Amino acid sequence: RRSALANIAAFAPIVAATASANAIETYLTEPTEEFKESERQRMEFRKKQLELKGEFVKVLARLTTESTTEAQLIEDLQDLKTLVIITGGLPLGIKKDEMYKVIRSKKAKGFWPTDVEIAYQKLKSEVGYQQSPNTEKDLENPL
């Protein structure tokens, strides 16, 4: 009885290795229609994200180089907030911290009135809201 168990234990890795070797050989030669559709959707998404990233970069460049008055700074920050709302967050390739660094570098250069700071804080809160996964309201909890 023990010798039979020893033989089975010795034979089991060989069976597992040949089964996995047979599984490796069963690759598809042509992509399926579902895969092709998924690739098409992925390309459309990337294209749209690149276009949105271009809009963000354009507004950030305008904010840091061209805007000098309070009204221009507020308008640029509101444009960024609108883009965040339209996009539902930030597009691929733009990181929240990097965007904040660019804006803070403009702030550090000097002219940054209170209303501009309020617009900046509203932008930060909108980015946080759009990127938060907890958007469902708990109706039973009054707090």
139 versus 96: the higher-pLDDT residue is 96
What sign results for the dihedral spanned by CA atoms 68, 71, 72, 75?
Answer: positive
CA distance 46 to 91: 10
Residue 35 token pair: 């895969």
pTM for this structure? 0.68
Give SS3 for 76: helix
Residue 106, Cα to own-chain centre: how many angstroms?
25
- Residue 133 to residues 4, 106, 126, 136, Cα–Cα distance (Å): 57, 30, 13, 9
Higher pLDDT, 8 or 48: 48
Amino acid at 110: G
Confidence of residue 71 (pLDDT cuts 50, 70, 90): very high
Nearest CA to 89 out of 61, 121, 63, 52 is that of 52
Pick from 119, 94, 93: nearest CA to 106: 119
Lowest-confidence region among 27-31, 54-58, 62-66: 27-31
Distance CA 58, CA 61 (A): 5
